Amino acid sequence: MPRSIAGDAFGKGVLGRRLAWGAMLAATASCSGMSDDPPSANDPSSSASHGGATPTVGQGDAGTPPGDTPSGTFVLETLGAWARGSVHPVRWDPPKDLPSANESVVLETSRDGGASYARVGTAIAQEGYARFTAPEDGPSTLRVRVTFRTFDGRGNEIPLRRLVSNDITLTASAKRAYTWQKVTSAAPFGPRDGAGGVVHAGKMWLIGGWNGERFPLQTANDVWSSTDGATWTRERDNTYLSRPTFDYTNDWEGRHFAGYLSFGGKMWIVGGDPNQGHYQTDVWSSIDGRVWTRTDAFAPRQPYTTLDTDPASPTFGTFVWNPRARASEESQFGMRALHVAGVLGDRMFVLGGQRIAQYVNPDWPGRPAKILDDVWTTRDGVTFSEAARVGPRWAPRGLVSEAVEHDGRLWLVGGGALDDPGVGATKREYRNDVWSTRDGSAWERSPGEAPFSPRIWHNVKVFDGRLWVLCGYDGSEPGAGRMADNLADAWYSADGTNWYEASPPAGFVARHAATAWAYAGSLFVGSGNAIGPDPAAPSGPGVWYADVWKLSPAP
């Protein structure tokens, strides 16, 4: 029975609690248009810290009732304008002196400059967060009011204080209608997560991936192609089966959640993971998915195997795997995993990543554990150079499927870092901020806060002239106001600021480290760490799915 990895696809035994399919849940508001979903903050770069936009502090309106008022200030991350139909967070500082920690606030809106208000939902006061969908019609301005309240012994509502936002201008909507369709329930490449998804030579390609119960060395290096998402051709078998016999000179190790790109008429694999106890920093390219050529300038400094000269050893006289030899290898962009790769114009990019002591002995490479925020570029996959730093930059991170080119800019959306207890990092980091650049050096953060929960192991794509964020893992516990761990949502934006939801229907299993392709007028997504109900045992722990779905513009 496959395990739910609960956010850790490295299979190193640090797996956290089991994610049973039945534990997926979402806390929603009591009314359409607003829901509770509080992202967590890890540092000033996190969207939860209100960076990237000047918050508007609401003042108590003329109707504020007298008497005791809770501490805290209502804060609404206004943009000056919201596109109609887009979803935006509303925040306030959780009050410290409400009669009960379970007290709720009432969210209201005004379409006439505050002359009257209509109730649109409620939220838990202490969570300090709700999501609001901008009206799709009506007047061109909107005002939001939050009322802190309690109840008397008879159940009568007692307002404690009302706080109101400024006027928000409503602009034209960029919302579109999309439909979801299941393409196959069981793709022949089988269950796996972190496989690369590349569109090349008129086909969708799936490269490598992780499944500790299917692959002898946890990860694979097989390659599959398809023109419809249902029928797949195995272009290359998995050869990563045994360390002593593997050809490390002419072949690439199995890996997952590496950099997978289409660039210059070739498919590219840029770096890899730490799953084998070392950092995979090699770079490979292929025209047909079968023959791969190593391109990075830093070839191995030592053999990958060592002759066993101990007569008492059962492997005497043979070449055996030497992990120290493999760990000594380093490319120009340096030792790292979980980095983000992307293409902008005539260059490939490597962004951030992490060196992780719990997976790679930091004494071997001579590189301490660290979360990275550097940027490297290459035009040929051979020579990499570090981009200069100009102005502010996103907080160190990785764990995003890729950086994508949209509207002449390279976009980095969300991400985070793994915990590394041995060096004092006891918690994972999750983000949902949105950054973009025209050159890799000067970065700009999109104003405001994205409405989707901070996450890692999500897919980012460009499709239909829009940025897309698909699925992922947000690490929240059930009942914390967000979905539980694996996610089953989809969001899109034309500008990186105004986001719309287009989530899959019931039957789509929540997942992280899925594989996605923008291909032939549709957005495909499949496989990944997708644990769903077993039709043969609905009350059981679930099975690992290898399904494929596609999203298309509605007719």
pLDDT of 477 higher than 80: no
Residues 53-75 have pLDDT tens digits of: 333 334 344 344 433 334 444 55
Tokens 């039957």 sit at which residue? 507
Alpha helices in 464-504 (DSSP H): none
Please, which pLDDT band fits residue 365 given cuts at 50, 70 and 90? Answer: low
Structural domains of the chain in order of their starting residue, each with its CATH number: 37-171 (2.60.40.10), 178-553 (2.120.10.80)
pLDDT of 244 higher than 70: yes
Please, which pLDDT band fits residue 150 given cuts at 50, 70 and 90? Answer: confident
Beta strand spans in 165-265 (E)? 168-171, 178-184, 196-200, 203-210, 219-226, 233-236, 259-263
Mean pLDDT of the chain: 83
pLDDT of 2 higher than 90: no
pLDDT of 205 higher than 90: yes
Alpha-carbon torsion (463, 431, 480, 5), positive or negative: positive
Residue 62 half-sphere exposure, CB side, CA atoms within 13 Å? 3
Residue-level pLDDT at 179 = 98
Residue-level pLDDT at 101 = 62
Q: Per-residue DSSP letters for 337-366? A: BS-EEEEETTEEEEEEEEE-TTTS-TTTTT
Residue-level pLDDT at 80 = 73
Residue-level pLDDT at 170 = 97
Residues 410-451 have pLDDT tens digits of: 999 999 999 998 888 889 999 999 999 999 999 999 998 899
pLDDT of 51 higher than 60: no
Which residue has better confidence, 155 or 214?
214
pLDDT of 95 higher than 90: no
Which residue has better confidence, 208 or 42?
208
pLDDT of 166 higher than 90: no
Residues 216-227 have pLDDT tens digits of: 999 999 999 999
pLDDT of 366 higher than 70: no
Mean predicted confidence (pLDDT) in 280-297: 94
Residue-level pLDDT at 325 = 53
